Structure 1
């Protein structure tokens, strides 16, 4: 089993993961495999610029899933805004996806934290802290 790559800051050590899902506005099926591949490239470029890692990207014609490891200085909503904003600009321009609308993505999103031990194991670990 490999050791996790913790982020070490001046006052913290973190390892934060989030699973995100973005849905295309009006569930239009515009995310072909080619568009999803380009979307993945754009997401990774945003991650490089902002110092977070896009670990996995995949989806279907009307939505896309991302797994991201990010630093604590960013809120999830900030990550979402940058990812959706930049990808929308690039994809709408490069693929002419929404000539009659100004938005590619629905304004909503799904986010769930993930990674590490299951919640029950963490709960048990904390419960047993005074049993030394």
Structure 2
């Protein structure tokens, strides 16, 4: 990186448990989120807040140009998969679904995004993950095709 180059890019990253299974139980969820935060910090990035519910996670990070977002997300997902499996937090093998959503914010939006992520449990009492995710894609004017989104489930099976 050149001298005189300074940046701070604020990104919300969203990804889900493989099969959208409700595997991130409250009993160990905070430990997993702290572990994720440690990975982000160890990579020289800023962990603002990490939170989620049983089937998905929101990371809000300050990303420096020294690292590609795709590399950071890959490392967080790989390392937490190993961590969850080594700790035997779940029966069987845990893994994350492929892909993620990434949404950028300005400095003035940090407090609102922080509160939104902090209140994920309350938020999902009113809105499904699918509604939340599609709302984010549309709010950020991201073109998408339904068949390439995460696996979404309703009460009767796959949507």
Same-fold call, TM > 0.5?
Answer: yes
CA RMSD of aligned residues (A): 1.8
Report matched runs for 1:27-106 at 5 Å.
Answer: 27-97=20-90, 99=92, 101=93, 103-106=94-97
How far apart in 2 are the matches of 1:88 and 1:74?
21
* Number of equivalent positions: 108
- The answer as to whether partners of 1:97 and 1:104 remain within 8 angstroms in 2 is no
Instruction: For structure 2, list consecutive stretches of 5 or more residues without a partner in the other structure.
Output: 110-159
Q: Secondary structure at the match of 2:19?
A: helix
How far apart in 2 are the matches of 1:33 and 1:115?
31
How far apart in 1 are the matches of 2:99 and 2:91?
18
- Residue 57 of structure 1: how far off its partner (Å): 1.1
Of 116, 121, 132, 2:107 maps to 116
How far apart in 2 are the matches of 1:39 and 1:10?
36
Whichever structure has more strand as a proportion of its residues is 1
Check if 1:25 corresponds to 2:37: no
- Residue 117 of structure 1: how far off its partner (Å): 5.3
Instruction: For structure 1, list consecutive stretches of 5 or more residues without a partner in the other structure.
Output: 1-8, 119-132
Deviates more, 1:34-43 or 1:57-66: 34-43
Greater Rg, structure 1 or structure 2?
Answer: 1
Shift in CA distance, 98/73, structure 1 to aligned 2, threshold 3 Å: farther
How far apart in 1 are the matches of 2:90 and 2:3?
43
Q: Secondary structure at the match of 1:51?
A: coil
Deviates more, 1:18-27 or 1:47-56: 47-56
Shift in CA distance, 37/82, structure 1 to aligned 2, threshold 3 Å: same
